[in-house]
Amino acid sequence: MANTELILSTGFDRAASGTGASGVAAAQTPSVVAPEAPARSQGTLAVGRDLVALTKPRITAMVLATEAAGATLAPGHVAARTQLLSLVGTALIVGSANSLNMWWERDTDGLMARTRNRPLPAGRLSPDVALGFGLTLAVVAVPMLFMVNIATALLGLASLVSYVAIYTPLKRHTHLALLVGAVPGAIPPLLGWATVTGGIGLGGLLLFGVLFLWQIPHFAAITIFRAEDYARAGLQVVSVQHGERAARHTVALYAVLLVAMSLLFVPFGLAGAYYLPAATVLGAAFLALALRGVRGTARLDVRRWAKGVFAFSVIYLPALLVALLVARA
């Protein structure tokens, strides 16, 4: 499960009133809920496409890529059948979490420009179908992960429960829900590591740390250039609750922590000879960009800067993982 526009960018719920430090209305009054569109009759192929859309395929693909990275970096080997079970089970449990999240947030999705055309707010699927689909995916996924090993299954269950039952309702109340949502978003490499080793090792925890910290500046940047959209729906993100300045400082702080975490693979002997130069260059570029948001801001085009941070974060993570994989090869 992932917590970004990528990994999990989703809606929060509660209407905005008042004005935050950035001029964005602060969420303090009960939300204005978008009326639920009646489900429209459509063909089998169209229904299939919408069911797939509920799983957020691009996010699921990234989750599988980070899980595969964790499995590749883990010491030891595992049978191809076991690895396949893990990947398919993970894809299903991620699809379940995303489907249940869309079911839960169908009202606020209808209030946001970027999400109003999703299958539920657009009325192409009924909520009951989406709920049943999400639960079915979970029922199929959990036994598959237990067939891999107990550690993998428990991690998968933890990610599903924390994302759907804790993160999703919590973000109706506070921007700090992002820190909760970043946990299931960072579990996929641990799933890969546990698939191979049957447990959680130091390398798996470092991968978890990188994924966890990466999500914060990535998503905080999104909340800046989509602040009006979030405020319109009353979503509790940092730029709405505490203003643009707080969001910029969040980006800078967590970028520093992320780069520091990425370098820990070296002293712990978990990276090859070429990883340090690659991580240093990537980290320096990320820091230079992120810190512009808190230094010399008088002439800063904040929206353009935030979009730049978001775009570079999308490049940074896969590039860092590739460097780690190549260096270990």
Of 193, 88, 184, 185, the C-alpha closest to 142 is 88
Side chain identity at 167, as an amino acid letter?
Y
What domains can you pick out in the chain, each with its CATH number? 44-328 (1.10.357.140)
Could you give the percent of the chain with pLDDT greater than 70? 86
User: Which residues have C-beta within 8 Å of that of residue 209, sequence separation ≥ 6?
Assistant: 186, 261, 264
Tens-digit pLDDT profile for residues 114-163: 889 999 999 999 999 999 999 999 999 999 999 999 999 999 999 999 99
Q: Mind listing the pLDDT tens digit for each residue in 166-189?
A: 998 888 789 999 999 999 999 999
Mean pLDDT of the chain: 87
- Judged by average pLDDT, the poorest of 138-147, 260-269, 288-297 is 288-297
Q: In angstroms, how far is the first alpha carbon of the chain from the final one?
A: 28
| Contacts of residue 226, Cβ cutoff 8 Å, sequence gap at least 6 | 114
What mean pLDDT comes out for the span 290-304? Answer: 89
Looking at residue 1, its pLDDT comes to 57
Cα separation values, 109 from 36, 120, 150, Å: 10, 9, 36
Q: What is the pLDDT of residue 231?
A: 84
Tell me: pLDDT of 40 over 50: yes
